[in-house]
Amino acid sequence: QVQLVESGGGLVQAGGSLGLSCAASGGTFSSYVVGWFRQAPGKQREFVAAASRSDGVTDYAASVKGRFTISRDNAKKRVYLQMNNLKPEDTAVYYCAATFARTIIVSDDYNYWGQGTQVTVSS
């Protein structure tokens, strides 16, 4: 069983930056593909970024590519999301997730989820 806890959300102006962190406990963190998802009010949850277990492979949604960076530290059992050049449309609750899948998946078919952290970008 893996528990995930996000932190680092908040309010930022458009064009600004924010970093999210997700701390994992339980399980073997390096065995999981990890991802970030977000859900805006009235919208479905959507894929943001994911990182493979240990070979550095990452994937991003087209809407955030070039602005967001996902990284992980298996020794610290943490995954990060650095968000730059934020836009009002990035406003959402951001969720950290982990999956048993052997490779990155972009659907929300993940096994474990955090409680979410709010990111609000003002125009």
Per-residue pLDDT of the chain (123 residues; tens, 9 = 90+): 899 999 999 999 999 999 999 999 988 999 999 999 999 999 999 999 999 998 889 999 999 999 999 999 999 999 999 999 999 999 999 999 999 888 888 888 999 999 999 999 999
The per-residue pLDDT for 18 is: 98
* Residue 33 in tokens: 């593909």
The per-residue pLDDT for 26 is: 87
Long-range contacts of 102-108 (CB under 8 A, 24+ apart): 102/33, 102/53, 103/33, 103/52, 104/33, 104/35, 104/50, 104/51, 104/52, 104/57, 104/58, 104/59, 105/33, 105/35, 105/50, 106/35, 106/47, 106/50, 106/59, 106/61, 107/47, 108/37, 108/45, 108/47
